[in-house]
Chain A
């Protein structure tokens, strides 16, 4: 909650590219939820998504194309996972 609220406030003043950065960093942080909410099932797919995000998220400051590719890659992975889980 604190991250979302303070990110919302910050996005009014920060560089525009920090909007997608906060969103994808928020997704990375969300994948940690099972650590704190034991009712949630741990999920290896979420761990992989987190690794992929955290490995590239700071490229938003140095290489926007690499950052964009990372986002596309994450979107593709989530899409495939959704489709695979819809089949099961």
Chain B
């Protein structure tokens, strides 16, 4: 078996991101560590038509549920959408859905349970923060597995709830479009640390260390 075949077979069978990353490192000689993954991840808007296997999807979902969560609320519910008709409906009802990714994960929050356990703070803020952190975990997991993804908020909430039969009290927060990437976007410009980081009080410029990150 050739290296690439071994890699693909190994990646497809990996149940945990750590195992996938280690396997990828060993076979490719690359270093897909967490910092590299963070810096090389991109929003992908062009996809190949292949469907992502279930075990890879589960690895990504598993990464999502291990995200930090305020008061251990774990307010998230994930809907994996792969039915082509449903995907097409979601695409048509989401101005921010670009590309033809054959699957998506709809990240929802359980507002009712969050309110019961966390009050208004839980319902109105922690749900959004937690779902965002779960989404980032899933984005990085997808990237580590060689997949592309794009988090998307530009969808019609009422329409998505109707299509996916989402009950009252459960709100779709983000849609994660996902698939095999068919583009390699350049990194977007980022604000340098000097512009966004302060020391001890707002406005006091962070003194850059010589060994620090480049702008």
Contacts and interface: CB of A to CB of B under 8 A. Distances in A.
Interface residues of B, number: 13
Nearest to B96: A10
Consensus secondary structure, chain A interface:
helix
A25 B45 contact: no
Contact of A6 (B45, B95, B189): B95
Contacts, number: 29
* Band of interface residues on A: 10 to 19
Interface string B72-104: 000000000000000000001111100000000
A9 B188 contact: no
Nearest to B156: A6
Contacts of A9: 156, 158
Interface in A2-27: 2-3, 5-7, 9-10, 14, 18, 22, 25
B47 interface: no
B95 A3 contact: yes
B188 A6 contact: no
Contacts of A18: 154
A61 interface: yes
B157 to A, nearest CB: 9
A10 B157 CA distance: 9
Contact of B189 (A7, A10, A62): A62
Interface of A: 2-3, 5-7, 9-10, 14, 18, 22, 25, 58, 61-63
Interface of B: 45, 92-96, 154-156, 158-159, 188-189
